[in-house]
Amino acid sequence: MDLDAFSVALAETLRPDQILSDPVERLVYESDGYLVEKRIPDLVVFPQSTAELSAVMRLAYEQQIPVVPRGAGTSLAGGCLPIDGGVTVCLSRMQQIREVNLLDRYAVVDAGVVNGRLNQHLVGTGLHFAPDPSSAGASTIGGNIATNAGGPHTLKYGVTSNHVLGIEVVLPDGRVFEFGGPQGFDSSWDLAGLFTGSEGTFGFCTRATVRLERNPQSWQTRLAIFDQLEDAVTVVSEIIGAGIIPAALELMDQGMLRAIEDRYQHGLPTDAGAVLIIEVDGPDCATSEEIARIDAICSAGACREIRKAETADERLALWKCRKQAFGAIGLLSTSFCTQDGVVPRTRLPELLNYVLEVAAKYELRIFNVFHAGDGNIHPIILFDERQPEQVQRVLDASEEILQRCLDFGGTVTGEHGIGIEKIDLMDRMFTPVDLQIFREVRGVFNAGAITGRGKLIPVLAAERSS
């Protein structure tokens, strides 16, 4: 690795304002939303076009410089962490919305377009981009594709891969390809689908063609309040068991309710054991029938109170409570780690009780807010990152929670990705043959493992020594 030669060549390719070399400026890029580990990159660069990124990657490939792709840095699994040093390549300046086709219902956007900005751009068109991670106000489309992000409405609308029609990519050696597009794929291979969720281990998505959904005719939104967490979880299974698929089915426990209320004063019931935010959407006749059935299930399931969002503003206020959950933690703790596991819905009560046992065992505060409809849990572990002993307890607690997800037939991630946080759990979830196939597929795109090194796929001893 010849970083000096790379830096000289880079200065001939990009403007000075596209390169950060000052240690203080680089400090901002030492981590993403995963605060347990931090590493400062040797350089940070900001290409503003596919051609510039291609040139940067050719230089990095020639000098064998490790490259870490980065969008807005909202990743929660260490995907943006430069564990081997090298260069962080940030696509946040690639921000053009290039086309919106209302008739065929798709948009073509650069990787750095913020998720929420695309939907703001679509206001008044009758269409929207369905993936809605809680970080949608900051996260980028390219980052959504890298991690196959989900969000509260995943239950009905699916994750990012369900809404990607095509992508333009820059591979680690600088070559540029297009996979798919508005008209579909040139072959039977869904390479855009394969690339989505690869967490930078295949290269960079620079542009995406995304499917747009029609806005529903109506919404029906509820806040169902329960004295006991177990009662709320039971109702979740009963709703799905009745054949109803809500647009969203979100749960917040008492600790989370108190955190949100202490900071934002939304009028949430802080004495409740848990609440469910339930939403159905579609034609008026369908939503009215579905919400009536859900109300009946809640009332029969020890629900203390059902609050109805009667207006659009009341609906938005309920969702604001949910979206502000993670921000509320900042008032309570210097640091927090958000876990991301999945279990069958019927195992949620057991898993949540286990999370409470883990919290007691490691003397940690853990709050819960998660996508209950698809069994995707997000225990939020509070700690002080300045205390190494606390950091270790967080790591141990996280591993035990995720192992229990596997024990229950689930997975160690639903939407945050593997990154570096869960890479040591991959060989518990997959066989050696599975992992070798993953490595071989990665090698098709990224033979030298220049990008995403040490992420997602466990490193073999031979790779460590190379």
Render pLDDT for 129-174 as a digit per residue (tens, 0 to 9).
999 998 999 999 999 999 999 999 999 999 999 999 999 999 999 9
Q: What are the residue ranges of CATH 3.30.43.10 in the chain?
A: 3-90
- Decide if domain 3-90 falls under CATH 3.30.43.10: yes
Q: Using CA atoms, how far apart are residues 171 and 191, in angstroms rounded to an integer?
A: 13
Top-tier CATH class for 333-407: alpha beta
Average pLDDT over residues 279-304: 95
Enter the pTM of the model.
Answer: 0.93
Where do you find CATH 3.30.70.2190 in the chain? 218-322
Q: What is the pLDDT of residue 463?
A: 54
Per-residue three-class SS string for the chain: CCHHHHHHHHHCCCCHHHEECCHHHHHCCCCCCCCCCCCCCCEEECCCCHHHHHHHHHHHHHHCCCEEEECCCCCCCCCCCCCCCCEEEECCCCCCEEEEECCCCEEEEECCCEHHHHHHHCCCCCEECCCCCCCCCCCEHHHHHHHCCCCCCHHHHCCHHHHEEEEEEECCCCCEEEEECCCCCCCCCCHHHHHCCCCCCCCEEEEEEEECEECCCEEEEEEEEECCHHHHHHHHHHHHHCCCCCCEEEEEEHHHHHHHHHHHCCCCCCCCCEEEEEEEEECHHHHHHHHHHHHHHHHHCCEEEEEECCCHHHHHHHHHHHHCHHHHHCCCCCEEEECCEECCHHHHHHHHHHHHHHHHHCCCEEEEEEEHHHCEECEEEEECCCCHHHHHHHHHHHHHHHHHHHHCCCECCCCCCCCCCCHHHHHHHCCHHHHHHHHHHHHHHCCCCCECCCCCCCCCHHHHHC
Tens of pLDDT, residue by residue over 81-111, are 998 789 999 999 999 999 999 999 999 999 9
Residues spanned by CATH 3.30.70.2740 within the chain?
Answer: 333-407
**Has residue 426 got a pLDDT over 70?**
yes
Percent of the chain at pLDDT above 70?
97
pLDDT tens sequence across 328-358: 998 899 899 999 999 999 899 999 999 999 9
Categorize the per-residue pLDDT at 251 as very low, low, confident or very high, splitting at 50, 70 and 90. Answer: very high
Whether pLDDT at 465 is above 70 = no
pLDDT value at 188 more than 80: no
Q: What is the pLDDT of residue 461?
A: 44
User: Does the pLDDT at position 186 exceed 80?
Assistant: no
User: May I ask the CATH architecture of the domain 218-322?
Assistant: 2-Layer Sandwich (3.30)
| Six-digit token string for 159 | 């994750």
pLDDT exceeds 80 at position 460: no
> Is-contact 76 338, C-beta < 8 A?
yes
Query: How far is C-alpha 302 from the geometric centre of its chain's CA atoms?
Result: 33
